[in-house]
Chain A
Amino acid sequence: ELKVEQNPLFLSMQEGKNYTIYCNYSTTSDRLYWYRQDPGKSLESLFVLLSNGAVKQEGRLMASLDTKARLSTLHITAAVHDLSATYFCAVDRRRDDKIIFGKGTRLHILP
Chain B
Amino acid sequence: EAQVTQNPRYLITVTGKKLTVTCSQNMNHEYMSWYRQDPGLGLRQIYYSMNVEVTDKGDVPEGYKVSRKEKRNFPLILESPSPNQTSLYFCASSLSSGRAYNEQFFGPGTRLTVL
Contact = CB atoms under 8 A, between A and B. Distances in A.
B31 interface: yes
Contacts of B92: 43
B22 interface: no
A101 B109 CA distance: 17
Nearest to A45: B103
Interface in B98-115: 100-109
Interface stretch (A11-19, A60-68, A71-79, A90-98): A90-98
Interface of A: 31, 33, 35, 42-45, 48, 50, 88, 90, 92, 96-104
Interface of A: prevailing SS: strand
Which of A31, A43, A88 has its CB near the most chain B CB atoms (within 10 A)?
A43
B: contact size bracket:
20 to 34
B101 A48 contact: yes
B99 to A, nearest CB: 10
A31 B97 CA distance: 11
B66 to A, nearest CB: 14
B46 to A, nearest CB: 11
Contacts of A50: 100-101
Contacts of B104: 33, 43, 45, 99
Contacts of A103: 40-42
Interface in B25-51: 31, 33, 35, 40-45, 48, 50
Interface of B: 31, 33, 35, 40-45, 48, 50, 56, 58-59, 90, 92, 97, 100-109
A31 B48 CA distance: 17
Given A42-B90, A97-B50, A31 B102 contact: yes
Given A42-B108, A103-B40, A98 B103 contact: no
**Top 3 closest A-B pairs, CB basis?**
A103-B42, A97-B97, A101-B43
B40 to A, nearest CB: 7
B42 A101 contact: yes
A102 B101 contact: no
Given A48-B103, A92-B102, A98 B56 contact: yes
